[in-house]
Amino acid sequence: MIYNAPIKDMLFLVNEWIGLDRLSSLPGFEEVDADLLQAILEEAEKFCTTELLSINSDGDEHAATYSDGAVKTPPGFKQAYAHFIANGWTGIDSNPDHGGQGLPKLLQCLIDEMLSATNLSFKLYSELSHGAYHLLNDAASDDIRERYLPKMVEGVWSGTMCLTEPHCGTDLGLLTTSATPVDDGSYKISGSKIFITSGDHDLTENILHLVIARIDGAPEGTKGISLFLVPKILVNDDGSLGEANAVHTASIEHKMGIRASATCALNFDGAVGHLIGEENRGLAAMFKMMNVERLTVGIQGLGLAEIAYQNALNYALERYQSKAPSPRPDDSKPADPIIYQPDVKRQLLTIRSQVEGARALVVYAELHVDIMEKSTDESAIADAENTVALLTPVVKAFLTDLGLSSTLSAQQIYGGHGYIREHGMEQLVRDCRITQIYEGTNEVQALDLVSRKLTGETGEFANRFLRDWQSFLEGHASDEDLAGYIGPAASALHRLLQATGWIRDRIGAEDAAVRGAATQYLRLFALTIVACLWAQIIVGIRSKDGPFYEVKRKVALFYMQQVLPDTVSLLKTIVGGEDALAEFEVADFS
């Protein structure tokens, strides 16, 4: 497979669209400039293409293995991971006090896209560590931070998130893992967790498990959940490694995709754990990590869509089949490259126009993550927090749906060659499929959007968010040169406002109708906001000449004409489809 990181587009979005000064004006980012961003992105591309892409298919073929209670990663992974941590990729946005580089999360997300595109299984061994680091940095005591975080930033220790149990997934209030207080202030953790990404492996010296459990006597349900740090190897007071903790790997899952990533079932048999944060407040702390991961999982879908597009485009340029419609590129030949077939071109542009729009959505969201964490302006922080909260379920669900639809379309362009292992397209489909499921299924994300983000304080912000886009579009409505972009975006936004009103009128009293429309609403929301972002991008480059900007305008126009019309049918389904769903009884399935 081939992969060329879309660095030019990434830098365009940061430097020319949102404006690099919005990053460099934040405390701690004063030295972040265009040259630094470009240099880091180019080094990331070099590592991803030379080290990770080359072992991706081998990792899928050989997979992670489990024997005698231990997990072994596929050939090449240990060497690649050693280079990964030696080059400092585990500490891009980590605190310099812990050995990190203190760079923007916006930069981290662009690197995450490259890692996801070239070897998602490999990326997962460091991804949960990244989330665990930031949770501990926010919520742990000074002693915990000093003892554990430098090793996590260095990459020689890794982290996990242990939530799911055999009998409970989304409904974490049903968990049974227990925590018994010990006189020395620690706890004995007992229970079983499943589906633990990177729960065991041979890449790091230690693995730090973040485990939710219920302290003896705690309230039932989510109000009685606490959070604990449970290291695989106990850590002495001086920071050195001690004896093994009572954490045992029971098995690894045999999965459809991401086969080189070890997804483990873990048993905690009275393991030593350290309370993180307050008793019975563990879920609030864990959700901070989960929300970081949800944005990151969305980026996984984006990365896989990008590499699928690149390879399908390359194949379409080289594969000769049948004669193209007139005018043909070369009448003397018996067949033409399939890219000249209009439907192949349509499929490629459907992927590209959404990928470039989705990347803008990620950049927009991650900019607000940086503002939320670095700004000193309380009003700006509040707006950024609400923006991130509103967009997190949208990024996770829309981008992972896009990842699967794009990998499937790319596979279709390959025809029969896409169905066999040789070209790698079928692996992309299999690897991408999990992204719609883990870190909260996309249906759960849709419910979060309609039931939480459209109500209360975030709901008030959502109103303002949509009104601001409405004002932007109205401000450019009279410009005839922009009509092909502003008009469709404004029409879609009008449909979104209609759907939002319909949802709000029924929240509470007609909850089943709202829940039944949630998935369609999220897609309508995402398609519309991406259209608004495209419109803003086009307004920003309207006076700029050159092939790059001209192609941008063409891609945006395709999105407006061929992708955005889906919002018409989505609105009809939302406001006109509740009776058909409600009237079909559960008994009717029999």
E strand map for 96-186: 157-162, 178-181
Q: What angle do CA 371, 377, 383 make, to 5 degrees?
A: 55
pLDDT at 288: 77
In the predicted model, residues of the chain with pLDDT beneath 70 are none
What residues contact residue 10 under an 8 Å CB cut-off, 6+ apart?
41, 110, 113, 359, 363
> Which DSSP state fits 173?
G
pLDDT in tens, 241-275: 999 999 999 999 999 999 999 999 999 999 999 99
Q: How far is CA 419 from CA 306, 407, 424, 571, in A?
A: 19, 12, 9, 35
User: Which residue is listed with tokens 């705690």?
Assistant: 218
3-class SS letters over 360-374: HHHHHHHHHHHHHHH
160 DSSP β-pair partners: 209
Cα–Cα distance for residue pair 116/52, rounded to 1 Å: 10
pLDDT at 168: 81
Query: Is residue 339 within 8 Å of 316, Cβ to Cβ?
Result: yes
Cα–Cα distance for residue pair 230/409, rounded to 1 Å: 43
Q: What angle do CA 17, 41, 156 make, to 5 degrees?
A: 130
Rg (CA), the chain: 24
Interstrand relation of 226-231 and 206-215 (parallel, antiparallel or unpaired): antiparallel
Cα–Cα distance for residue pair 312/317, rounded to 1 Å: 9
Cα–Cα distance for residue pair 328/345, rounded to 1 Å: 14
The pair of structure tokens assigned to 396 is 């996770």
pLDDT at 174: 84
What residues contact residue 551 under an 8 Å CB cut-off, 6+ apart?
none
| Distance from the Cα of residue 8 to its chain's centroid | 21
Catalytic residue among 439, 457, 474, 550: 439
pLDDT at 292: 86
Cα–Cα distance for residue pair 522/442, rounded to 1 Å: 9
The pair of structure tokens assigned to 92 is 């891009």
| Distance from the Cα of residue 293 to its chain's centroid | 6
pLDDT at 287: 80
pLDDT at 524: 98
- b/e map 76-115, b = 16+ CB within 10 Å: bbeebbeebbeebbbbbbbbeebbbbbbbbbbbbbbbbbb
Q: Is the pTM of this model over 0.95?
A: yes
Q: Could you give the 3-state DSSP secondary structure of residue 397? A: helix
pLDDT at 430: 98
45 classed as catalytic: no
Cα–Cα distance for residue pair 215/227, rounded to 1 Å: 10
DSSP state string for 234-290: EE-TTS-EEEEPSEEEEEE---SS-TTS-EEEEEEEEEEEEEESSTT-HHHHHHHHH
CB atoms within 10 A of CB 341: 18
Q: Could you give the 3-state DSSP secondary structure of residue 161? A: strand
What residues contact residue 455 under an 8 Å CB cut-off, 6+ apart?
504, 507
